[in-house]
Structure 1
Amino acid sequence: MSADTPAGLRSAPFVALLAATVLAFGGYALLLPVVPVHAAAGGAAPGAAGATTGVFMAATVAAQLTVPAVLRRVGPRAAMVAGVLAMGVPAVLLAVTASLPVLFGVAVVRGLGFGLVTVTGAALVADLAPPARRGRAMGLYGVALGLPQLVLLSGGVWAYDVLGGAAVLLAGAALPLLASLACGRLPTRVVASPGDAAAGRTFPVRSAVGPWTAMVVSAAAAGGVITLLPLWTPGTGSATGLAGGTTTAAVALAVLTTGQLAGRGLAGELADRRTRTPAVVVGLVTGVGLLTVAAGAGVIALGGAGSGPVVLLGAALVGLGFGAVQSDTLLALFARAGPSRSGAASTWWNTGYDAGTGLGAAALAAVLGAAGAPTAFVVAALACVLVLPVPLAAVLGRRAG
């Protein structure tokens, strides 16, 4: 692998990582909005339906905290295999019941597997990519995450409504199991830091807390939007339902994911072109991303009950802003951690992403049940605005220095 060319991005391990990521995140994307819908179809209230995502993400975060140690002990290949199997095998039970205790139990096991997959995958990107092409590698990894979400995040909601739940839920179980086939080409050990246990534990909190906070809040807003759109479909233009019903929800999720892909890709390409004051650029892009997510959530709140096109515009803005925040916060964490602590940086970023997604899904679903969807979307927008001082402080601090 050369540090001067993108040859490392065409290596067998990197291609295998992208293939495993597409399949594993395909299962994740298919079931993320469908499990709450499945719970609601079984009689669960909106808050309980959204809590299935919250439980899944809580288990994900718990697992992510252990991954640096797991990588040092068993290596990335074994960690990825264990993760995709845990995501796929228990999901078969979803096809036979909508019982909340079962859904919660499956969510725990799947979440533990997803935690292994997310941190291991991001750490492998940092290990396998040449430093000069790390931004592009992050962009490609973002595409591998986003493409299955583009098709399945929205397509799953539509398929559940049209084809029935069993086929969709079984497909969500099968995709991670197929990912195990691609894991055979992954390295058996962490390349950059095989013996750096102390470094992973001593990554300073003050270096991580800014990007992590921005990631948590943007993920909470976006995760809440993703969870609420399929649940907010009982009417067809009424004050209690999304205009266009399930069709609009499915299209909006596709638009959101497209925006997310664009945001991640553009931010990754921008990163490779930074020659001066990268911390300022990171802070500015993260701040603009948060504002864009807030604007999108506000647009959905204003137009959801009466205008499908307005909902689609809002979804596009949420996705674009969230994608930019994802890419920039991950690159910021890797830059602050250094090559010897890529596992720790990946853990910080992934816990922010998944804790935020779970928190947003559970909290905003509860607001939906108590005060209606427009209020829930306004809460998401306000959260993003309130956290803006975090990236702006990084910009001002860099300029002051």
Structure 2
Amino acid sequence: MNSPEWTRGARAAYQEQVRTPVSTGSPTPLRQRPFRFLLIATVGGFSGYALLLPVVPLWAVAGGAGEVAAGATNAVFMLVTVLTQLVMPWLLRRVDCRGLFALGTALIGAPTPLFALSSDMVTLLGVSALRGIGFGILTVTGSALTAELVPTAQRGRAAAYYGLAIGLPNVALLPAGVWLSDRIGFEPLFWAAGAVPLVAALTALGITRVRLGEAPRTAPAQPVALLPSWTIMVVNTAATGGLTAFLPMAVDASIAPAALLVFAAATMLGRWLAGHVGDRLGQRGVLAPATLLGGIGVLLLALAAWSSDPVALAGAALFGAGFGAVQNTTLILMLERVDSATASTAWNIAYDGGHGLGAIGFGVLIAASGYPVTFAITGVLLTLCRTLAARRWA
């Protein structure tokens, strides 16, 4: 890391850098060939993840496990993911980032056919842990490569396209996995879900070799500089984890599936728009409106939970758009403050850890106060994040 002491001139140069809007004539990051290969490999890696996220618990139940034990398969997967992410800054300073990205993508797929051997919980938890290591590596290296493979002026749009490469498999394959397990059976699906990431790992050969270094000398290198953006990301992700888990129980059953689909689509659109607008007008100008938009959306969801009103669709759209924009903008703001390894790790921990905290926290609040009050409290917290986002150091 660089020394925490800045000269006054270095600080001024950094502040000018993050304030200055980027010219609208800056070319698209899709013109960078290594970045295109990164997107292709990302789609493959996340396809292996999304296909099985709802399927492995179903396989456990089919083998006689109870719901708690079945849920433990995904819980172990995410726990190992976060633990792996914690060691990534150290690892990325010693190993080529492209090689780690290929390894993580391969580990999502290679152990997967082992699920077919047995539905015994020891096997399921062991394979889930191996895949969690791969997912932890994949998520951190993918974000870091997004920043390293394109010019700084294109980072916002690059992160937006990277978000699409993650989002599309989730939208298309989360429901498809359940459908395919019913049509072709679990075992063929495990083999297919294992093969796709392995092929994607080969695509990484088209990515430039990258060894991550230190933060630019004009940027503050202390991880504490990430705290405002990290806090905003955790609050928004926790809201997402809780709402996606409990929205189907809080609103009318005829509205819930459409609301979740609208949320997923709006999240991708919000991230894509934030990347383009942020590169042109500056990232901080996007963050405050995005947090406010998300807060308003959740307040509408609270109204829907109270009255079973179709306003849930409007709330899901606003919350999704705000959350997508927050994802993109917080990542770029973190990359402006510290090296890519630290920024990517912090952002991914906020994302994955926030989801778990949200699901647990919502469960406690709902038990104490009900769905409408819990959603209303969440909407107020997201709206208050606008004050933090509007700060110059956010």
What is the TM-score when the length of structure 1 is the normalising length?
0.78
Higher alpha-carbon deviation: 134-143 or 170-179: 170-179
CA contact (8 A) 2:299 2:379 kept: no
2:274 — aligned with what? Answer: 267
2:380 — aligned with what? Answer: 385
CA distance in 1, matches of 2:287, 2:81: 27
Higher alpha-carbon deviation: 214-223 or 154-163: 154-163
1:218 — aligned with what? Answer: 236
CA deviations 1:50-101 (Å, max 9, x no partner) are 4433322221121112222222222112101210122112222334444444
Q: Which letter maps to 1:220?
A: A
Structure 1 residue ranges without an equivalent (≥5): 233-238
Q: How far did residue 113 of structure 1 move?
A: 0.8
1:243 aligns with 2:253: yes
CA distance in 1, matches of 2:128, 2:198: 16
Count of matched residue positions in the alignment of Structure 1 and Structure 2: 369
1:354 to 352, 357, 360: 352
Going from structure 1 to structure 2, the CA distance change for 1:32 and 1:136 (only over 3 Å counts) comes to: same
CA distance in 1, matches of 2:120, 2:371: 26
Q: How far did residue 48 of structure 1 move?
A: 4.4
CA distance in 2, matches of 1:380, 1:52: 28
1:298 aligns with 2:302: yes
1:166 to 177, 187, 191: 187
CA contact (8 A) 1:24 1:84 kept: yes
Q: How far did residue 333 of structure 1 move?
A: 1.0
CA contact (8 A) 1:21 1:121 kept: yes
1:2-401 residue pairs with structure 2 within 5 A?
5-6=26-27, 8-42=29-63, 44-190=65-211, 193-194=212-213, 196=214, 203-227=221-245, 243=253, 253-274=260-281, 278-279=283-284, 281-292=285-296, 294-295=298-299, 297-298=301-302, 301-302=305-306, 315-337=316-338, 341-361=339-359, 371=367, 375=370, 379=374, 382-383=377-378, 385-386=380-381, 388-395=383-390, 397-398=391-392
Q: Which letter maps to 2:292?
A: V
CA distance in 1, matches of 2:256, 2:182: 12
CA distance in 1, matches of 2:264, 2:336: 26
CA contact (8 A) 2:215 2:221 kept: no
1:236 — aligned with what? Answer: none
Q: How far did residue 121 of structure 1 move?
A: 1.0
Q: How far did residue 228 of structure 1 move?
A: 5.4
CA distance in 2, matches of 1:292, 1:382: 12
Q: How far did residue 291 of structure 1 move?
A: 0.8
CA contact (8 A) 2:60 2:120 kept: yes
Percent of aligned positions with the same letter in both sequences? 42
Q: Which letter maps to 1:156?
A: G
CA deviations 1:197-222 (Å, max 9, x no partner) are 999xx842432122212222322332
CA contact (8 A) 1:29 1:152 kept: yes
CA distance in 1, matches of 2:355, 2:199: 25
CA distance in 2, matches of 1:161, 1:300: 33
Q: Which letter maps to 2:380?
A: V
Q: How far did residue 315 of structure 1 move?
A: 4.4
CA contact (8 A) 1:255 1:315 kept: yes
What is the TM-score when the length of structure 2 is the normalising length?
0.79
Q: How far did residue 38 of structure 1 move?
A: 3.9
CA deviations 1:176-200 (Å, max 9, x no partner) are 222112111122223xx44x3999x
Which of these two proteins has the greater Rg computed from alpha carbons?
2
